[in-house]
Amino acid sequence: MCLGLDPAALDGLERGDVSGVIGGRRYRASLGIRDYDAGVERHYGQRVAGLDMNGRFRHFGLVFELEEPTELALHDSARRLDEGLASLVTRYGPVLFRNAYMDDAARGQCQHNVFKSLNFHLDRGSTQSDHYSLFWRDPFDPKTRMPRTSTTLVLSNAAAYLQALSEGAEPHAFRQRYDLFQPRVPDGLIGDLLFELPWSAPEGQGEIAVLDNRTVLHASYYKKAQDRGYPIAVRYLY
């Protein structure tokens, strides 16, 4: 594996965007939502650290913008996620690469998923060891080369649980699926409480995202009521 992404090179993100090189091309990296757990605590009036579940995020979401179309080796032939990238997913939750694509063999190994809007869920349960979800738009595919009309929203486990309680759910053990924010997300919460994978890069520009099903839940979001968009490509990694 040769992604060549050194997590230590991103230590300056708290001071602003960071530039570097991966796949032989320059990138600019930026944080998605700063001071995330602190914001969750302010929003719900409850400390995240007191909840019995995985996932603590000082900052939530990481975005890499590649200056040129770039082929990235994110996992090996055994579907093992690159170690440097895995450490960033642990630290920041969802990681999004824009203007990036995988090689022919990797792009061909997938299924395509689309779900009910705002149904926050895990793709993999606690007994499944391939707990990372890899989603992507393929710039070489006639359908997914186009921007997608529906997006993907990501919540930390703690935020999803607290939101469920705020909507009237009875206190219980953390669940793997919640219908939340129905029928629409209130203005201002996207980018503040929810990290969005917008799938909106121009036609022919690839996008790839990685999530860890042990720490976050995700959902499709149809901004127009019946517009599901096309099913996004997905693969599960170790």
User: Structural domains in the chain?
Assistant: 7-237 (3.60.130)
Instruction: Give the pLDDT confidence score for residue 143 in this predicted structure.
Output: 86
Residues of the chain scoring pLDDT < 70: 1-2
For residue 107, the model assigns a pLDDT of: 82
Residue from 200, 237, 191 nearest 79 by CA: 237
In this prediction, residue 13 carries a pLDDT of 95
What integer pLDDT is reported at residue 2 of this predicted model? 67
DSSP 150-179: SEEEEEEHHHHHHHHHHTTPPP-SPPSEEE
H helices of 45-185, in order, are 83-92, 104-107, 157-166
Q: How far apart are CA 237 and CA 229, in angstroms?
A: 24
What confidence tens digit (pLDDT) does each residue in 65-117 have?
Answer: 999 999 999 999 999 999 999 999 999 999 999 999 998 878 877 788 778 89
